[in-house]
Homo-oligomer: A and B are copies of this chain.
Amino acid sequence: MSNLRTPGPTPVPPTVLAAMAQPMINHRGPEFAALIGGVTAKLKHFFQTENDLLILTGSGTGGLEAAVVNLLSPGDQVLAVSIGVFGDRFAEIARVFGAQVTKLDFPWGQPADPAAIQAQLAAHPQIKAVLVTHNETSTGVTNDLESISQAVRGFDKLLVVDAISSVGSLDLPADRWGCDMVIGGSQKGWMVPPGLVFVTVSPKAWQAATQARMPRFYWDLASAKRTLERGQTPATPAVSILYGLVESLRLMMEEGLPGIVERHRQVAERCRQGAKALGLELFARPGYESNTVTAVKVPSGVDAKALLKALREKHDIVLAGGQASLSGKIFRIGHLGYVYEEDIDEVLAALREELPAATK
């Protein structure tokens, strides 16, 4: 098995892979109702929320689209806080569906400044929702979501959090931090393959949804809630991914959220220290480095493509390159979900070996 160290899809534990190979069941039957009820309750535990949580079949991006179209009407003002590719994507979805987007960009590698968010909200009282990325996969930066949530709190806005690469791996007390919607994706810390997305909905978000006039059918959360009350989903769900989730949530309950968060911190710290020991520089501003993905600057003279190719072909280690304007400038080591220090040690040892050869 490759040492797959992209920030998603992430490796899947053997018992989860085995669980996915169970035969299909009727998604309108009693077995399925028990399955989805149990999985939903456990997910809520890890999202640290009493709000509704809905499981949709799709990629993480679909969850971002669901958030936008369920909360907003065309013409509504939103503040989209972006620190990278996925923040830009969230803003773009809102724009495409007709929101008036005020974009607050921070230089890539930097976190969002809560004071700047506060200033925007003070300057634009019409803003209805704040879209923010908890952990920006493209830059390896974790926003200080607690401070951001405090900055937003005074303004009675909807706080909508893309937590796709954080929730379940980093601490994200959704209710305590007043998050009205939190979006997670199965292929990240949950240790299952891609195909499911999770969206929490606060009472305030449900209230907004009743007013929201953006068109929605597949991503309609009210319809997902109505069918969940009968133990079903509006359309045929990705049953096999749900089987995997039953097993991965069992593993996660066993380890416990505090243990999981601490493991991610330790593994990430080892990755950062090890990279620095190789003379590499980290891309993220110190203090805001993500515990789920480490972005490393490509040293001058190093051909990033050749480096990743050598790691893949000679060591069976798969890292991610940089996205968009960061292509060729950084590479990324994913360490979320099913990951231990040995996995990172392997990556560091291989980097030590291949860096010289990839240097022009």
Residues of A within 8 A of B (CB): 1-2, 4, 6, 8-12, 17-18, 20-29, 57-62, 65, 92-93, 96-98, 185, 187, 193-195, 214-219, 234-241, 244, 312, 318, 320-321
**A9 engages B92 (CB within 8 Å):** no
**Residues of the B chain whose Cβ atoms lie less than 8 Å from the Cβ of A17:** 20-23
**Residues of the B chain whose Cβ atoms lie less than 8 Å from the Cβ of A21:** 17-18, 20-21
- Assuming the contacts A21-B18, A24-B9, A238-B194, asked whether A97 and B217 have C-beta atoms less than 8 A apart, the reply is yes
**B312 engages A29 (CB within 8 Å):** yes
**A194 engages B239 (CB within 8 Å):** yes
Q: How far is the CB of A165 from chain B (nearest CB, A)?
A: 11
**B195 engages A320 (CB within 8 Å):** no
User: Which residue from B10, B25, B65, B239 sits with its C-beta under 8 Å from A218?
Assistant: B65
Question: Which of chain B's residues has its CB closest to A233's CB?
Answer: B59
Q: Whole-angstrom distance between the alpha carbons of A216 and B56 in the complex?
A: 18
**A25 engages B8 (CB within 8 Å):** no
**Residues of the B chain whose Cβ atoms lie less than 8 Å from the Cβ of A2:** 23, 25
Q: A20-B21, A57-B194, A92-B217 are in contact. List 12 more A-B contacts (CB 8 A).
A: A4-B24, A11-B24, A20-B20, A57-B59, A57-B195, A59-B218, A59-B236, A59-B238, A98-B215, A187-B236, A240-B244, A241-B241
Q: Whole-angstrom distance between the alpha carbons of A335 and B353 in the complex?
A: 56
Q: How far is the CB of A71 from chain B (nearest CB, A)?
A: 15
**A6 engages B26 (CB within 8 Å):** yes
Q: How many copies does the complex hold?
A: 2
Q: Whole-angstrom distance between the alpha carbons of A97 and B214 in the complex?
A: 9
Q: Whole-angstrom distance between the alpha carbons of A4 and B9 in the complex?
A: 30
Q: Whole-angstrom distance between the alpha carbons of A187 and B26 in the complex?
A: 11
- Assuming the contacts A26-B320, A58-B57, A193-B24, asked whether A9 and B236 have C-beta atoms less than 8 A apart, the reply is yes
Q: Whole-angstrom distance between the alpha carbons of A189 and B244 in the complex?
A: 23
User: Which residue from B20, B22, B28, B238 sits with its C-beta under 8 Å from A320?
Assistant: B28
User: Which residue from B1, B4, B96 sits with its C-beta under 8 Å from A216?
Assistant: B96
Chain A to chain B contacts (Cβ below 8 Å), 18 pairs:
A4-B24, A20-B240, A21-B21, A24-B193, A26-B318, A26-B320, A29-B312, A57-B59, A59-B218, A59-B235, A61-B218, A61-B235, A187-B236, A193-B240, A194-B236, A194-B239, A238-B241, A240-B241
Q: How far is the CB of A125 from chain B (nearest CB, A)?
A: 26
**A236 engages B185 (CB within 8 Å):** yes
User: Which residue from B24, B96, B195, B320 sits with its C-beta under 8 Å from A187?
Assistant: B24
- With a 10 A CB-CB cut-off, give which of A26, A27, A96, A185 has the most chain B CB atoms: A26
User: Which residue from B6, B18, B240 sits with its C-beta under 8 Å from A240?
Assistant: B240
**A29 engages B97 (CB within 8 Å):** no
Q: How far is the CB of A203 from chain B (nearest CB, A)?
A: 25
**A4 engages B20 (CB within 8 Å):** no
**B28 engages A195 (CB within 8 Å):** no
9 shortest interchain CB distances as A-B pairs? A59-B235, A195-B238, A61-B235, A9-B24, A193-B240, A17-B21, A194-B236, A97-B215, A65-B218
- With a 10 A CB-CB cut-off, give which of A1, A17, A62, A194 has the most chain B CB atoms: A194
**Residues of the B chain whose Cβ atoms lie less than 8 Å from the Cβ of A29:** 312, 318
**Residues of the B chain whose Cβ atoms lie less than 8 Å from the Cβ of A4:** 23-26
Q: Whole-angstrom distance between the alpha carbons of A9 and B32 in the complex?
A: 12
Q: Whole-angstrom distance between the alpha carbons of A193 and B236 in the complex?
A: 10
